[in-house]
Amino acid sequence: MTCAELQQGLPEIVDKDWSAEQEKHLQSCPACAGVVSDLKLIVKESRALQGSEEPSIRVWDFIQTELQQEQEDLQLIAQQASLLRESDEPSPRVWTSIASVLHEYEADGEVIAREARELQGSEEPSPRVWNSLEIALREEGLIRKAAGKGSLVRQFPRWRWQTAWLLPVAAGLIVGIGFRLHRDSAEPKHIAVSKPVVVLPDDFVPKADLENPDLDRQMLDDVAARAPSLRQRYENDLHSVNSYIRDAQQSLRANPNDEEAQQSLINAVEQRSMLYQLAGDHSLP
Amino acid sequence: MRRRYETNLALVVLLVTASVAVAETRKEFRFPVSGKASVSITNVYGPISVKSAQGGQIFVIAILKSDKVEVDRSQSGDRIDLVSHLLPGADMQSGQVEYDVQVPIDTAVTLHTTTGSLTAEKLQGDLSVEGAAANVSLRDIANAHVHVKTLDGPITLANIVNGHVEVTSISGNVVMTAVNGKLVEVNSASGKIRYDGDFGYAGVYILSSHTGDIEATAPSYASFDVSARSEKGKVENDFTLEPKHTSFVVKAGSAFAGTMNKAASSVKLFSMSGKIHLKKR
């Protein structure tokens, strides 16, 4: 037997009984004997290694169970995502978040209104009183024309009153931001659903009421008091903006996942915010 | 008889003009500045005009139409504030102040008025302009944030390069000529929006309205990616666009989308019921 003939079948026979011919060759050939010896060592070590690192059957069972569970979860997620894609309505989480933000702002509004009432009832004279004082003092000649100084009229109380208008606008902006966030998070192509989808009733309507006739009237009255000639312009523009908001809301209800409709509502609310801001601006007389 | 009447009339006109001229007061203010300055002007009635000029100072000419208005001014370092202060009895006429302001080119400028015109030109500092019924005209502005808000005042922007432009108007028309930058966003309710330019490079252009028409004109070499849609208005397009994917259904006459050349800039035109026309120059 030659070395090549012996080594050809070595992997299969290294762990088994040798034939007499093979035994004879190994005794006469130190090279083959060395190879066989190394092979036996490798086999022995690998068995020891296998015994120590191989997870138990229990582990394999556990892994298999987990995999099955994952597969079932994935199927559920896919099913939910599919349902959500088919649904036209944004998830209730969005509406809930909007509603809670609005509630917070309503609460803040009440606090500010109460503070405003307290301020009104406090001993601090109103801006009109300061203004009358200033006029009277000027007429009496007790004060001269201010040279580079501001009016005696204290500005801050007016500002406080004006901020009350901004609350619903701020609330509106929050709604807008909510829609924007929702749009970013609820992109159907990249949606990752982790909770079951709740099917909303057909008559569900968002509670985000972005119009407030009382506040509008208050704002217009104040504009009229400060700049009568501008009242009509403000009223016309307020009408335009409110109409914009209504149309945008309607469009969004029809297509809740429509990005342009969402953006339109945000734009309309921003316009309303700007109108209130300009109405309260100190550039008005 | 007629001759006597004309003479009397001329006399009255002369007297009125003279009394007005006498009541007007011209004031000049100089504010030395060392670094990048900012100036804020609040004018209840009357125009404000701002231009760039050489020199490390802000130079203000204020023409007060009567003694029923004053100019309050303050300087804190490189920050200057000017406010028209109405005195008792002031009205739309007697409360007017005309401001003519010269500033270093990189000055940040904030302008407020109710009814006057607001103009700014040849500036490279940020601009914030607000006015309920103000006519706004801004031209030759570079590398600046440009924010404009009006209720019904018309807005004209011309030659604004590398700007970050945000315009909000309820019923004022917005006209933009050669305006480009990383962001050009116009939000209008009933005012018309007109854009004439090439949409620059790598910018985002968003023109949106409620009922106002939107017209954008660009040359054939312009490179942009456009989506346009009007929910109830008519939509027209003069360009031959490469089709592209959109989030809405592309329907002839009410929406279109596509790319032109390398699609360097993004253009979004959206109206709820206004017409949209993308015109080729």
Closest Cα in chain A to B71? A148
If you write DSSP's letter for every residue of B18-85 in order, what string do you get? Answer: HHHHHH-EEEEEEEE--SS-EEEEEESBS-EEEEE-SSSEEEEEEEESSTTEEEEEEEETTEEEEEEE
Cα–Cα distance measured from residue B110 to residue A283, given in angstroms and rounded to the nearest whole number: 12
Q: Classify residue A239 by burial, with Cβ atoms within 10 Å: 0-12, 13-18, 19+.
A: middle
Chain B within 8 Å of A121 (Cβ-Cβ)? no
pLDDT of residue A152: 38
- Optimal mutation site among B187, B188, B192, B268, interface A, most CBs of chain A within 10 A: B187
Identify the three-state secondary structure at position A84.
Answer: helix
A237 and B151 within 8 Å at the Cβ level: the answer is: yes
- Optimal mutation site among A219, A236, A240, A275, interface B, most CBs of chain B within 10 A: A240
Q: Which residues of B touch A148 (CB under 8 A)?
A: 72-73
Chain B within 8 Å of A138 (Cβ-Cβ)? yes
Closest Cα in chain A to B75? A148
Residue B136 lies in a domain: no
Q: Which residues of B touch A264 (CB under 8 A)?
A: 208, 210, 270, 272
pLDDT of residue A188: 38
Angle subtended at Cα B185 by Cα B183 and Cα B190, rounded to the nearest 5 degrees: 170
**Which position has the higher pLDDT, B276 or A168?**
B276
Residue B145 lies in a domain: no
B149 and A274 within 8 Å at the Cβ level: the answer is: yes
By C-alpha distance, which of B254, B216, B223 is closest to B238? B216
**Domain ranges in chain A?**
1-11+18-45, 89-279
Q: The tokens of A230 are what?
A: 């501008």
Q: Which residues of A touch B133 (CB under 8 A)?
A: 230, 233
Q: Closest to B85 (Cβ–Cβ): which among A151, A275, A284?
A: A151
Contacts of B240-248 with C-beta under 8 Å, sequence gap 24+, read B247/A258, B247/A259, B247/A260, B248/A258, B248/A260
Chain A within 8 Å of B196 (Cβ-Cβ)? no
pLDDT of residue A55: 61
Chain A within 8 Å of B42 (Cβ-Cβ)? yes
Task: Give per-residue burial for A184-211: e unless 16+ CB within 10 Å, then b.
Answer: eebeeeeeebeeebeeeeeeeebebebe
**Which position has the higher pLDDT, B124 or A204?**
B124
Cα–Cα distance measured from residue B201 to residue A152, given in angstroms and rounded to the nearest whole number: 52
Identify the three-state secondary structure at position A265.
Answer: helix
Cβ-based contacts under 8 A for chains A and B = 116
In chain B, % of residues over pLDDT 90: 72
A261 torsion bin: left (phi>0), alpha (psi -120 to 50), beta (else)? alpha
**Which position has the higher pLDDT, A283 or B245?**
B245
- Tell me the nearest-neighbour CA distance from A275 into chain B, angstroms: 7
B272 and A135 within 8 Å at the Cβ level: the answer is: no
pLDDT of residue B120: 96
B250: pLDDT strictly greater than 80? no
pLDDT, block means (10 residues), chain A with 285 residues: 74 72 82 80 70 64 76 76 61 64 66 62 52 59 47 39 52 56 43 39 50 83 83 87 88 82 85 84 65
Chain B within 8 Å of A268 (Cβ-Cβ)? yes
Q: Which residues of B touch A251 (CB under 8 A)?
A: 231, 272
A240 and B210 within 8 Å at the Cβ level: the answer is: yes
Chain A within 8 Å of B27 (Cβ-Cβ)? no
Tally of domains in chain B: 1
- Tell me the nearest-neighbour CA distance from A277 into chain B, angstroms: 10
Q: The tokens of A161 are what?
A: 């009153």
Chain A within 8 Å of B265 (Cβ-Cβ)? no
B102 sits in which H/E element = strand B97-103
Which amino acid is present at A70? E
Closest Cα in chain A to B68? A145
Residue whose token pair is 């849609």: B229
Chain A within 8 Å of B135 (Cβ-Cβ)? no
If you write DSSP's letter for every residue of B124-144 in order, what string do you get? Answer: -S-EEEEESS-EEEEEEEES-
Cα–Cα distance measured from residue A105 to residue A82, given in angstroms and rounded to the nearest whole number: 35
Chain B within 8 Å of A144 (Cβ-Cβ)? no
B130 and A283 within 8 Å at the Cβ level: the answer is: yes
Pairing of strands B57-64, B25-32: antiparallel
B189 and A148 within 8 Å at the Cβ level: the answer is: no
Q: Which residues of A touch B273 (CB under 8 A)?
A: 247
Q: Closest to A240 (Cβ–Cβ): which among B42, B90, B190?
A: B190
B151 and A233 within 8 Å at the Cβ level: the answer is: yes
A283 and B114 within 8 Å at the Cβ level: the answer is: yes
Residue B269 lies in a domain: yes
User: Is-contact B184 B205, C-beta < 8 A?
Assistant: yes
A264 and B210 within 8 Å at the Cβ level: the answer is: yes
Q: Closest to A149 (Cβ–Cβ): which among B72, B229, B247?
A: B72
A172 DSSP 8-state letter? H
**Which position has the higher pLDDT, B100 or A8?**
B100
Task: Give per-residue burial for B1-11: e unless 16+ CB within 10 Å, then b.
Answer: eeeeeeeeeee
B88 and A138 within 8 Å at the Cβ level: the answer is: yes
**Domain coverage including residue B236:** 154-281
User: Is-contact B267 B205, C-beta < 8 A?
Assistant: yes
By C-alpha distance, which of B239, B236, B163 is closest to B205? B163
**pLDDT bracket for residue B271 (50, 70, 90):** very high
Lowest mean pLDDT among A255-264, B14-23, B230-239, B259-268: B14-23
Question: HSE (CB half, 13 Å, CA atoms) of A162?
Answer: 19
Q: The tokens of A89 are what?
A: 């309505």
Per-residue pLDDT tens over the stretch B174-212: 999 999 999 999 999 999 999 999 999 899 999 999 999
**Which position has the higher pLDDT, B229 or A165?**
B229
Question: HSE (CB half, 13 Å, CA atoms) of B13?
Answer: 6
Q: The tokens of B158 are what?
A: 């011309």
Pairing of strands B224-230, B204-209: unpaired
B219: pLDDT strictly greater than 90? yes
pLDDT of residue A127: 52
Chain A within 8 Å of B137 (Cβ-Cβ)? no
pLDDT of residue A145: 47
B132 and A230 within 8 Å at the Cβ level: the answer is: yes
